[in-house]
Amino acid sequence: EAGVTQFPSHSVIEKGQTVTLRCDPISGHDNLYWYRRVMGKEIKFLLHFVKESKQDESGMPNNRFLAERTGGTYSTLKVQPAELEDSGVYFCASSQGPRTGDTGELFFGEGSRLTVL
Amino acid sequence: AQSVTQLGSHVSVSEGALVLLRCNYSSSVPPYLFWYVQYPNQGLQLLLKYTTGATLVKGINGFEAEFKKSETSFHLTKPSAHMSDAAEYFCAGRGGSARQLTFGSGTQLTVLP
């Protein structure tokens, strides 16, 4: 079974440019999450999709970030325009739908490292 | 709100020595707690998790953790460190109906020969 895949693994862009990160969750997983780790700090929650709907986007830092999940499958996270403080590693994770006793174990991708110069 | 604190951003142990990575949580509801490991150039991999029931949880690669409610702790241990254990370890938790995880700041484990 394929795991969570993210693309690109590393992106270097200049301030003001646009970057789009993509995440393909594990097939059949309804829940998809985006997290970010900036400069060795803690991994912080950005948002949560249930299928194609945004369940919780309380962690999105500002309106320069736009996340979509087309048809409840893969997801994209666009940063436009990018700023220096957006540099970090963006992780995607997925989990199965809620059910009795579901612990919500998250399966993570390898992350997309974004460097904004 | 759930918060997770990892004590020590860097821990060094000798090969064969005990590994102890500390994690404390704060929550007003019974938590679900997790330890993840990240090896270089890889994603986060689940080591073990506590949900309900037995407070001593065994995970992969010889790691285990004990949920201590009285101390609000979930420390990770391994009796004998191996060179391959060198990685970054993250404690995470979620409480109540929350679906997302709250992470600690991570502990980089170095194993010395």
- The band of B52, judged by pLDDT with boundaries at 50, 70 and 90, is confident
Q: Tell me whether residues A109 and B105 touch, CB distance under 8 A.
A: no
Q: Tell me whether residues A105 and B45 touch, CB distance under 8 A.
A: no
Rounded to an integer, the average pLDDT of A10-27 is 96
- Res A1: pLDDT: 65
DSSP string, A10-59: EEEE-TT--EEEEEE--TT--EEEEEEE-TTS-EEEEEEEETTEEEE-TT
- Res A101: pLDDT: 44
Rounded to an integer, the average pLDDT of A42-47 is 93
Given CB atoms, is B104 within the 8 Å cutoff of chain A?
Answer: yes
Q: Tell me whether residues A108 and B49 touch, CB distance under 8 A.
A: no
Given CB atoms, is B27 within the 8 Å cutoff of chain A?
Answer: no
Distance, in Å, from the CA atom of B8 to the CA atom of B107, rounded to the nearest integer, reads 6
| Average pLDDT for chain B | 91
Q: Is A84 helix (H, G, I), strand (E, B) or coil?
A: helix
- The band of B16, judged by pLDDT with boundaries at 50, 70 and 90, is very high
CA-based Rg of chain B, rounded to a whole angstrom? 13
- The band of A60, judged by pLDDT with boundaries at 50, 70 and 90, is very high
Rounded to an integer, the average pLDDT of B8-17 is 96
Given CB atoms, is A25 within the 8 Å cutoff of chain B?
Answer: no
- Res A102: pLDDT: 56
- Which tens digits make up the pLDDT trace of A70-117? 888 999 999 999 999 999 999 999 988 765 445 667 899 999 999 999
